[in-house]
Structure 1
Amino acid sequence: MNFLLTALLSAQILSALAMVGLILIQHGKGADMGAAFGSGSSGSLFGASGSANFLSRSTAVLATVFFICTLTLAYFGNYRPPESGSVLDRAAAPVAPAPAPAPAASGAAAQIPGTVPAPAGSAAPAAPAPAAPASGAAQIPAR
């Protein structure tokens, strides 16, 4: 898979560079009008209109290669392999119950206010400590 992505990326870069070069070589539409009135030389390697056809077709081919490479790289960039089973299968699967929390150490239970540590051999939950009075008047000694 890595080799395929590297090959696609290198083909995309090479086609982009070649396309830039071909576009810069081509003449604009105004250059043909000047050549028709004798101010420019219309003789070239490909003939009077042969270079325009060759360069424009080459540019079109390179643009197609660039476009296909771009779409393929975008597809592989967002590709996620499918998970086994469907969403309905995963929703119907039973959920395992959560494990019970481990009993607290004797020192930790003693530090929590309002709890009484359980005796070592008992399986019953510990009873809460008696609640402190809600008002602050009971804590302040009277005169």
Structure 2
Amino acid sequence: MVYEVLLVAYLIVALLLIGFVLIQQGKGADMGASFGSGGSNTVFGSSGSGNFMSRTTAVLAGLFFFISLTLGALTANKESAEDEWENLEVPAVVEAPVQTPADQDVPMGEVPESAIDDVPQVDKSSDVPN
């Protein structure tokens, strides 16, 4: 039950993290930065040490890593499910003796007359190119 809850939380945190990263603007995204007025940027950028978006992204990233490590630890300690096909017993193959038609004492080189009658005959005098 805990594993499934963590998986759902992991998915939600991952989607929120992606969304917050895509919504944020970069440091040089202002119009003035492209014309050379980017000199007001300090070590942390012109907006100070951090605003709501960057702090939320940091918290989501921390949650993402924590849940990732927790899921990894839970998965590493799980026993793998036994494969139901692995322990299946295969029945031994029983070969039945080959039965020949009517009589058992037919030599290998000799073909019964009934078998010859079933084969269609080819007319050798037809106009078939070789």
User: So what's the TM-score if we normalise by structure 2?
Assistant: 0.46
Which of the pair has the greater relative contact order for Cα pairs under 8 Å at 6+ separation?
Answer: 2
